[in-house]
Amino acid sequence: MAEINRTKNIITIFVIILVLALIIWPFVYIFISSFKPLKEIMSRASFLPVDPTLKNYQTLLFARTPVRDFPRFLFNSLYVSVFTALFTLIISSISGYGIARNRRLRAGLISKFLLFIYVFPTVVLLVPIYKLFTTMNLYDNLFGLIIIYTALVSPFCTWLLVSFLENIPRELEESAGIDGAGTFTTFTRIVIPLASPGLVTAGAYSFITAWGEYMFALILISSNLKKTGPLGLATFTAEQYIEWGPLLSGSILIMIPVFILFMPVSGYFIKGFTAGAVKE
């Protein structure tokens, strides 16, 4: 029996490694290629660099101009993503709590409606949002991006938190109510701590979405130094002059922060969705 289990284990490990390799090899290849000189990137494919160089990274990190400053772009993305996550958490936990605790509302229906919003193409929002934001002085303003990203992710995060909050026993809150705690205190002292896996999930989800978003940033940001990471990366893909070297190294650099953030919370992520899984 133990013998069978061992071979079974080895097979499982083997399959997992194989599947992982199949899924993440492009990143390995991009990473390796980011050390190739342009000459090799632009010639016939070979897996390993013949003449490895750090030039691609140097261009990005040290050759900074007033127009292109990649570390600054990443910092802008960080700023936007952190605040998007923060605002999303505030908005969707409050709304999610409202939905989850309202006896008259059919929570399932409302949270489904929140998800249904995502069916409508976001391309359509570009023009009206642009006009709206320029009149509100939110054009070419990182804060404007934070607002739009918060709006884009908060329906999903609200849904996530509704299913999570519904699983928190009402009795806990009711006993707090008996002890004289107001709604607000109950919310911050009892509900929020219990919902932390859901909050971490929602936060990470909004961070990741904001980090990679391209369309709205493209339309709403104009100044060179306000560009976010994806916009900055896109400047390497100029129509008649694609800068392959920095493009590859930039693709690696832009993934590192999200990956670092994601690694420790990926366990929470699964827990965060489990509540939704039970509910649905």
Partner 1 sequence: MLKIRKNEIQQYLFLLPVFIIVLVIFAYPYIRNLIYSFYDISFGGAESNYIGLKNYTYLLGSGFFWESLWKSLYWTFGNLVIQLIVPLFLAILLNVKMKGIHLARSLIMLPWIAPTVAVAVCMRWMLLPRIGIINAFLTSIGLMEKQIHFLGNNTTAMPALILLNSWKFLPFGTLMILAALQAIPLSVFEAAEVDGATGFQKFRFVTFPLLSSMIWFVGFLAFAWNFNTFDFIWLTTQGGPGTATQTLPVLIYRTAFKTFRLGEASAVTVFIGIFLIILGFFYFSYLTPKEKQ
Partner 2 sequence: MKKGILILMVFALVMVLGSITFAQDQPLEITFWHHEAPAHRVAAFQKVIDLFMKENPNINLKQEVVMWGDAWVKTLAAIEANTLPDFQFGLPDFVTTMFKTGSLAPLTDLVEEIDEKYQIFPNQKNMYFYDGDYWGVPIMTMVMLMTYRPSFLEEYVGTTEPPKTWDEVLDYAKKITENSEEEVYGIGIGGAKNLMTDEQAYIFMASTGARFFDENGNITFNSPETIEALKLYNDLIKFAPPGAEAWSWGEIELNIAAGTLAMSPYFPSVQKRFHEEFDSNDYDAAHIPFYKDRTERGTITYPNEVHLYKDTLEKPGHKEAVYDFVRFMMRPDINAILTSGQEPGGFFPTSVAASQAKEYWDDPIVKRFENAHKIAMEALNDYATLYGFEYGKWVNIGIGDISGADVLADTVNKVVSGQMTPEEAAAYGAELMTKYSAPIAQ
> Is residue 256 within a helix (H) or strand (E), and if so which, with residue range?
helix 244-279
Measured from the CB atom, the residue of 63 and 94 that comes closer to partner 1 is 94
Measured from the CB atom, the residue of 194 and 218 that comes closer to partner 2 is 218
Report if residue 131 touches partner 2, rule: CB under 8 A. Answer: yes
C-beta of 113: minimal distance to partner 1 in Å? 8
Among 108, 192, 243, 251, binds partner 2 (CB under 8 A): 243
**Residue 238 binding result from partner 2, partner 1, none, given CB thresholds of 5 to 8 Å by partner type:** partner 2
- Please list, in sequence order, all residues whose beta carbon lies within 8 angstroms of the beta carbon of residue 96, skipping any fewer than 6 positions away: 157, 158, 159, 160, 161, 162, 164, 165
Which of the ranges 25-33, 101-109, 184-192, 236-244 carries the binding residues for partner 2, by CB under 8 A?
Answer: 236-244
Distance of CA 107 to the CA centre of its chain: 26
Among 116, 143, 223, 225, binds partner 1 (CB under 8 A): 116
**Ordered DSSP codes for 140-168:** T-HHHHHHHHHHHHHHHHHHHHHHHHHTS
> Is residue 183 within a helix (H) or strand (E), and if so which, with residue range?
helix 183-185
The amino acid sitting at 86 is L
C-beta of 217: minimal distance to partner 2 in Å? 11
**Residue 123 binding result from partner 2, partner 1, none, given CB thresholds of 5 to 8 Å by partner type:** partner 1
Going from the C-alpha of 239 to that of each of 43, 222, 234, 236, 243, the distances in angstroms are 19, 19, 10, 9, 10
The amino acid sitting at 203 is G
C-beta of 125: minimal distance to partner 1 in Å? 5
Q: Which of residues 50-109 bind partner 1 (CB under 8 A)?
A: 90-92, 94-95, 97-99, 101-102, 104, 106, 108-109
Q: Which residue has the tokens 């090899």?
A: 25
The number of residues that bind partner 2 (CB under 8 A) is 36
Between CA 270 and CA 228, with CA 264 as vertex, the angle to 5 degrees is 100
Please give the DSSP secondary-structure letter assigned to residue 124.
Answer: G
The number of residues that bind partner 1 (CB under 8 A) is 93
Report if residue 141 touches partner 2, rule: CB under 8 A. Answer: no
Which of the ranges 27-35, 49-57, 65-73, 188-196 carries the binding residues for partner 1, by CB under 8 A?
Answer: 27-35
Report if residue 5 touches partner 2, rule: CB under 8 A. Answer: no
Report if residue 58 touches partner 2, rule: CB under 8 A. Answer: no
Report if residue 233 touches partner 1, rule: CB under 8 A. Answer: yes
Q: Are 198 and 161 in contact (CB under 8 A)?
A: yes
Q: Which residue has the tokens 């509910």?
A: 279
Instruction: Give phi and psi for 242, each to the nearest 5.
Output: -80, 125
Instruction: Give phi and psi for 248, each to the nearest 5.
Output: -70, -45
Report if residue 222 touches partner 2, rule: CB under 8 A. Answer: yes
Q: Which of residues 33-52 bind partner 2 (CB under 8 A)?
A: 37-39, 42-44
Residue ranges in contact with partner 2 by CB under 8 A: 37-39, 42-44, 59, 63, 65-68, 127, 130-131, 134-135, 139-140, 218-219, 222-224, 234-244, 246
